[in-house]
Amino acid sequence: MILAPFLLAAAASAAPPMAVIDEKDVIREEPTPHGKIGLSTAYRISDAVPQPRRMEFRKRILHVGSAIGLHPIAHDEVYYVLSGTGDVTSDGETRSLTPGMTAYLYDGAIVGIKQTGVEPLALIISYPVKE
């Protein structure tokens, strides 16, 4: 069987078992981070992963008129738009995002994103955890 060597390697691995998280188990309404500019629905997916973990993976829905305020980042960070529209800013440059677009933001930048349009802005946000 072709998979047998991979299965043996996995069995000998020191990696923890995978974690499967249902977003309905980690949902909460809260003010947006970095300035509390409106409300958001947060899905703190990686918070439910057993420790240790090396990355954050979150879904956040910015309600109409909400924004994640400008803040410095000390790691690369990714914003992926699921639905809605928004304006992302990095070091003074602002670009519009629509569904399917990604903003890759770099360590050391001052970044933020605001919801635009008539529907909420749904994002996936991911970045490494400091070790």
Question: Which pLDDT does position 8 carry in this prediction?
Answer: 56
Residue 1 pLDDT exceeds 60? no
Residue 31, domain member (yes or no): yes
Owner of token pair 């994103």: 113
Residue 30, domain member (yes or no): yes
- For 72-101, what is each residue's pLDDT tens digit? 999 999 999 999 999 999 999 999 999 999
Residue 13, domain member (yes or no): no
123 contact partners, CB below 8 Å, separation of at least 6: 59, 60, 61, 62, 79, 80, 81, 82, 86, 113
Residue 116 pLDDT exceeds 70? yes
Residue 6, domain member (yes or no): no
**131/113 Cα distance (integer angstroms):** 26
For residue 68, the enclosing domain spans 19-128
Residue 10, domain member (yes or no): no
pLDDT band (50, 70, 90) for residue 3 = low
Residues above pLDDT 70, as percent of the chain:
89
Residue 2 pLDDT exceeds 60? no
Owner of token pair 């933001």: 105
Question: Which pLDDT does position 10 carry in this prediction?
Answer: 53
CATH number for the domain harbouring residue 26: 2.60.120.10
